[in-house]
Amino acid sequence: MDISSYLTPGKRAHLSGIGGVSMSPLAEVLHGMGLRVQGSDMNESPAVEHLRALGIPVAIGHAAENLGECDFVVRTAAIHDDNPEISGAVTRGIPVFERAQAWGAIMKGYRNALCISGTHGKTTTTSMSTHIFMAAQADPTVMIGGTLELLHAGYRVGKGDTIIAESCEYCNSFLSFFPTVAVILNVEADHLDFFKDLADVERSFRKFAELVPERGFVVANRDDAGARETLAGLERPLFWFSLADTSADCRAENLVWENGLPSFDVVIRGKTYARVALHVGGAHNVMNALAAASAAYLLGLPGSAVEQGLATFHGAGRRFEKKGEYHGAAVYDDYAHHPGELHALLTMAKSLPYRRIVCAFQPHTYSRTHALFDEFVRELKLPDVLVLAEIYAAREQNDLGISSADLAAKIPGAIYCPTLSRVTETLRTIAQPGDLILTVGAGDIYKAGENLLKGEDA
């Protein structure tokens, strides 16, 4: 069954989990297309209030009667078959689609679909691309898995011919998309509760690259072994970016670091396309900027848009985001939850002029912690002081019997905290002037830093 036939004016769509980060923009886009949109969510939120202000009814709580006379249902990945709205729809013969299928069908309506994928760096690179396209006054539609200050949201509904979408490999959701430019930042073993191993992850990214039509492009990181392996022998136009490989299509040259921040020339096929000064640190952000610049170049944007767009980019929400100062220590928060992301964050942090790096890390999911245990141990030795919160379960049960205490046992000097309030208390005790305090993870670890600044326990 093809969702495209349902995306027509007058059809009634029910969105289960309508308040989610990529469901609320979907609701707004469908509403703008003339569909009659309704939905449900477990909680009231600013997103729900915003949708109601647009005239979209939202019920709180999930129940079969919420479906009303809808023609089809769209659900988030978090909503399973035993949910009363899903089982109710199946009983009544109402078709149920995944969120990614809906976004994929919407993409078909755009001349350019810039889809940004990778094990990490997606949100930042999608945000950088948004800044560039906004600077070019291209009026893009945007879907990001995080909040961008420029948009005061994680999405934007534009009237231009380009859609920019963060594209996640989890559950193969990005295979429902229709990219004309597919960006692959890196390919590493992750989401091993879904994928069997690295080879399985690489197969998924390969299929994603193969979705690109003949007139499109695959933009990829030449310096990443997983990306090279994934794309070997691909019969699609490949556009490589690199810091190290002089044969790549797009390179950073004349790279200068000042106070931990990079400036460089973006050189494409031997010619300088743009001179970029970033307000975010780390070599990984130079790579993210090269990816965004490559996509802009291929889609015909001038180098001046890259310069202007990146000059106004100060990071996405929860990506090395400054939260405040506590007793002379700077407090920042970051979403890093994979060893590769931790490495990028902590090496960047160590290049900054702080006296000590204090990292409060909350591992995300038992399966990831177990599968990548040795890699986590290696990266978590980088900070001067490590505080470990208990593993954030997310969607999992602890069938593996694993704890952050197991990581702490392998890392000299690590401080294990079974609760978030203990993390806050520990940070309060050890904070010193000149420290950089990082709260790190994809769960609720940010609350420990926020409560430190508020003077409360978590």
Cα gap 307→132, rounded to integer Å: 8
Residue 425 annotated as catalytic: no
Query: What's the 3-state SS for the chain?
Result: CCHHHHCCCCCEEEEECCCCCCHHHHHHHHHHCCCEEEEEECCCCHHHHHHHHCCCCEEECCCHHHHCCCCEEEECCCCCCCCHHHHHHHHHCCCEEEHHHHHHHHHCCCCEEEEEECCCCHHHHHHHHHHHHHHCCCCCEEEEEEEECCCCEEEECCCCCEEEEECCCHHHHHHHCCCCEEEECCCCCCCCCCCCCHHHHHHHHHHHHHCCCCCCEEEEECCCHHHHHHHCCCCCCEEEEECCCCCCCEEEEEEEEECCEEEEEEEECCEEEEEEECCCCCHHHHHHHHHHHHHHHHCCCCHHHHHHHHHCCCCCCCCCEEEEEECCEEEEEECCCCHHHHHHHHHHHHCCCCCEEEEEECCECHHHHHHCHHHHHHHCCCCCEEEEECCECCCCCCCCCCCHHHHHHHCCCCEEECCHHHHHHHHHHHCCCCEEEEEECCCCCHHHHHHHHHCCCC
Sign for the pseudo-dihedral over CA of 384, 388, 392, 396: positive
Maximum alpha-carbon separation in the chain: 63
- Residue 207 annotated to the active site: no
Q: What is the distance between the alpha carbons of residues 92 and 135, in angstroms, rounded to a whole number?
A: 48
Residues paired with residue 112 on neighbouring β-strands, in sequence order: 162
Which of these is catalytic: 28, 85, 166, 321? 166
Please enumerate in sequence order all residues whose Cβ is within 8 A of that of 25, keeping only pairs 6 or more positions apart, or say none: 143, 153, 154, 155, 156, 157
Q: Which of 28, 76, 85, 122 is catalytic?
A: 122
The residue from 76, 119, 123, 141 that is catalytic is 123
The Cα–Cα gap between 339 and 372 comes to 8
Q: Give yes or no: 149 in active site.
A: no
Enumerate residues 6+ apart whose C-beta is below 8 A from 232: none
- List the structure tokens of 173: 């959701």
Catalytic residues: 122-123, 166
